[in-house]
Structure 1
Amino acid sequence: MSEVDDAMRGFADWFGRRPIGAWSAPGRVNLIGEHTDYNDGFVFPFAIDHRTAVALGDRDDRVIRVASSFAPEPVEIHLDELSPDALDGWSAYPLGVAWALGELGADLEHVRGVDLYIVSTVPIGAGLSSSAAIECSVALALDEHWGLGFDRPTLAKVGQLAENRVVGAPTGIMDQSASLLGEADAGVFLDCRSLDAEVIPLGFAADGLSLVVIDTKVEHAHASGGYAARRASCEAGARALGIDSLRDLHLDDLERAAALLDDETFRRVRHVVTEDQRVLDTVRTLREHGPGAIGPFLDASHVSMRDDFEISVPELDLAVATAQANGAIGARMTGGGFGGSAIALVIDALVPIVTREVLAAFAERGHREPAIFTARPSQGARRDA
């Protein structure tokens, strides 16, 4: 509860009064299913035990003021002035949520402003969706405080809209869904076309397994060109094939796709199609044989992202290869790519060995020292105080 306590204290320090409540939402690890969400495909993330907390206090005007532990000054704006063009910097995430609530049907003409104070322990730029943790904690807080009555799938859409239109990152809905729908010791199997979600037990602890996160410290940003270029390539491939999205393509369609597309576009398409199948195979194998049997799908996912989608970097490849060489059941990069984190599913007794060897490998190559920790599948967004 440290994030919540810090948010409550920080609110009092900044605004000179006690907040009326605090909410929190987790970051996420995507176990498998990368760059499939905006292609209407399948993903299988889980919420982690690193969280963002927001403390909220009421105001008697229509101003939203937001401060945080990671910004030097608060930012404020009148509710009537909320628009994507009026928001930038870090505050675009929480204030973008307020704007997006109105875009998705909330009546904001008759609500009062609020003060918000945000604290986070989700690493920024690590591919663990620190942005969605902010969006979902704020969305849940404002929905409850303003009495909007949105359900969690709608709040996920709110977060995605804020990220797409205000922040300018062309992401899918996976991150917000994981942050809002996650449960302890479980993953969220999400169909990104229908938005049907199923919470599936992971059973890592019962099988003596840990999910090790290796934050390479190579920061990425979804709003930068690489992510947008991959999405554009997927959309171009779908148009050339005469389909609405790559979700409509199957493994046995790849031969036809290879004949119609240029090499680069085909490889982008092949990653998405095979990754969708890997998600389905992972969920099926988890149900039938348990988590110890899913390693080959994680390994194959990394190869596909490295070679076909070309979103890995040397540090991620080194983390994955070193974990695999030291007994990991499976390993892959996770998140949007171009930096961020790798994950490795590891027998508990081997976690210290994998950690030691990854640190040594990074030092030997002259890379920045990574942050290595285990991530526990945890509960999604909630009110804490």
Structure 2
Amino acid sequence: MSTTLAARRRAALSALIVAVASVLLLTTALARVADAHGNIVDPASRNYGCWQRWGGDFQNPAMATQDPMCWQAWQADPQAMWNWNGLFREGVAGNHQGAIPDGQLCSAGRTQNGRYNAMDTVGDWKAQNISTNFSVKLFDQASHGADYIRVYVTKQGFNPVTQPLGWGNLELVGQIGNTPASQWTAETGGVSIKVNGTAAGRSGRHIVYTIWQASHLDQSYYFCSDVNFGGVQPSPSSSASPSASPRPSTSPSVSPSPSRPPSPSPSSPPPPGGCSATYALTGSWPGGFQGDVKVTAGSSAITGWTVTLTWANGQTITQSWGATVTTSGSTATAKNVSYNGSLAAGGSTTFGFLGNAPNSSNGAPGLTCTPS
């Protein structure tokens, strides 16, 4: 064998090794993305609540005055909300206090390269009214199950509006042990479970702190939910159940362009007893996009709704949450799921989806809303 031929074979072998290594690294990275799949949806955690309230309108300057803590979080890193299901640490081995310093509990110790740091910001976060006998609802997209889930509440006298959260401020008020996903409640896009807690002697503003130890890896999730025990004002969250099923984490990790706000479709006020729907483009990439639809009841309550979307540019919906979607030609029909069909007069909910956009144009669909 000539020296030149041997050199060529060695070069080809080296190139093959590099290619295989690259594929393995990519596969590992994708697997890690797929691992991140859950959050507390009731009472909503800080980043899930900000996504729930503002995900379809995150550039609205009114947020700065109406919801200033969410505003600072969106400004700090929008991906903390788009990736609401990734607030976790790995390799903690149960030593949560050793891994997470005081003052950093809501960001899981500034996990994910600081993406969630704004969750630790002290201030007047929107708080949900709950009773002292309550439950937290955890939504798990990947059906990982739990080694355990622990629910803590801040001690009476702690003020979350002015004080950073530390481990010494918390008291364990509820927990469950090993619970496989097969024992959780099946929902559209995943499974959920409720964990009961009792916060006797509490009143006013508090933080409910939840630790979910997922079963598939040594992966620990940490959630801060702002609550008001015994409050009489309407909850900032529109309902006890999430207004939209969480977004699948398999969607492209593309946040909407800061220079391009979502463009809602025009809609006339809903008629009495009827409903209306508005559309917002919340993200786009070559060949695909992400959208939200807001459904609003008229002057009378409704028990269900159906939204028809008519596309003009060949778009198709490939995945949805918060609605059951069927497609026929250029028309998609979205029906409410179990938890977001009933709306009070003037009440609203949202559903979202991923879609294919095969053409250069990606115009808003025509919308009709029919109550039931």
Same fold (TM over 0.5): no
Structure number with greater Rg is 2
By relative contact order (CA 8 Å, sep 6+), the higher-ranking structure is: 1
Of Structure 1 and Structure 2, the greater helix share is in 1
TM-score after normalising by structure 1:
0.30
TM-score after normalising by structure 2:
0.30
Of Structure 1 and Structure 2, the greater strand share is in 2
